Structure 1
């Protein structure tokens, strides 16, 4: 129906030809209009001259011809207006035809695309993809399955054995005695620490009084140094062991 109304490509060519013809007609009418306008001016000038010459009859004849020319100019103007109107109609029809032709081309292209790819083909392609994916998964599972002697191992037994090893390692770390290298600094610190009252600060002795000291605590400074040297020698011997 649209093709019958707007025409085919051949008719579109006819529209272009018609528009060219109408443009030529407009040019021709415009030229005639210019000629008539010049005649109108000429008759008006002649009428003025006859009026000055007191030739009333000749002046009236010039005015009559002037009116005829003016009527023709008005008629040519109407012709040009109709041609302009028809040109606008044809140009609109041409634009509509081109639009419909573009839409028709798009619809035809979509139709061809749908023929090349229908829903059945899409479903078939997706089934093939899913089948190939499943085959690949089965191949990977087959390759990752242990074979030979490794296939006889019980995973639960291996897990239980690993837990036993971890428990034994932790127990061994907890029962491991303190090494001499770690004990030596502690022993040295204990030996060199001055003897003071447990958990108490220095004693404040009142003036004029002398606190009583046990006999074993009343050593001279030299004796204290000798005792410290002996303790250090004993510590060195222990560390050498």
Structure 2
């Protein structure tokens, strides 16, 4: 267990240390390459000077040294390529290791969560929730039940009384007198005076009163 716990940081430290060492070596090779390129360029300049001085032998010696420097530069270039290749492989391996560790950690966390919440615990929790819900429903029904005098009222009697009230209301509406429609206006022809019923009624009453006075005088 402790090996697994302390192994990962040690491996990561080793990988980082190796990458640092490769970077240092690469920088060293690049510096040497620059120095060799300068020496090769310097031999070319010397060869030119010896050529102007008609010293062919010395000029050829300069070109030979230039070739040697160029060979070393080429060799250093191969070393640099190998180091770059090693660094790429190491960085890829480091990324792969970190990915595998992350996946392993996620799988362990998922396993722990599944272990903590197995199906039996879920079923037990749902049973408790259903039981609490049923208890709350019973409590609400008990609180909403009528108490005191209202609990003694008979629903059938109340419905019968309501039907009597509705029948009495309907009977009262039927007994109310119908409203009389307004009389239609009488169309009177042009040139004729309309007959006045009220004036005729007054004339008849006056005739009856005159007849009664005549009978009393006799």
State TM-score, norm by structure 1: 0.68
Change in 2 beyond 3 A, CA 1:175/1:79 = same
Query: Cα offset for 1:149?
Result: 5.2
1:230 maps to none
Provide the C-alpha distance between the structure 2 equivalents of 1:23 and 1:16, rounded to a whole number of angstroms.
11
Q: State the match for 2:106 in structure 1.
A: 106
Work out the CA distance in 2 between the residues paired with 1:94 and 1:203: 121
Write the deviation string for residues 40-80 of structure 1: whole angstroms up to 9, x where unpaired.
11222222222233333222222221111111010001111
CA distance in 2, matches of 1:218, 1:129: 92
Structure-2 residue corresponding to 1:157: 157
RMSD: 3.3
Counting only pairs closer than 5 Å after superposition, residues 35-74 of structure 1 correspond to structure 2 as: 35-74=35-74
Which residue pairs with 2:17 in the alignment?
17
Q: Distance in 2 between matches of 1:60 and 1:73?
A: 20
TM-score (norm 2): 0.74
What residue in structure 2 maps to residue 34 of structure 1? 34
For 1:81, the equivalent position in structure 2 comes to 81
**More divergent stretch after superposition (85-94 vs 75-84):** 85-94
Mean Cα deviation higher: 161-170 or 112-121: 112-121
Q: 1:32 to 1:168 in 2, by over 3 A?
A: same
Structure-to-structure mapping, 1:137-176, within 5 angstroms: 137-147=137-147, 150-176=150-176
Unaligned runs of 5+ in 2: 203-218
Q: CA deviation at 1:120?
A: 1.5
1:141 CA drift (Å):
2.2
Q: Distance in 1 between matches of 2:135 and 2:50?
A: 114
Give the drift of 1:177: 4.6
CA distance in 2, matches of 1:61, 1:203: 154
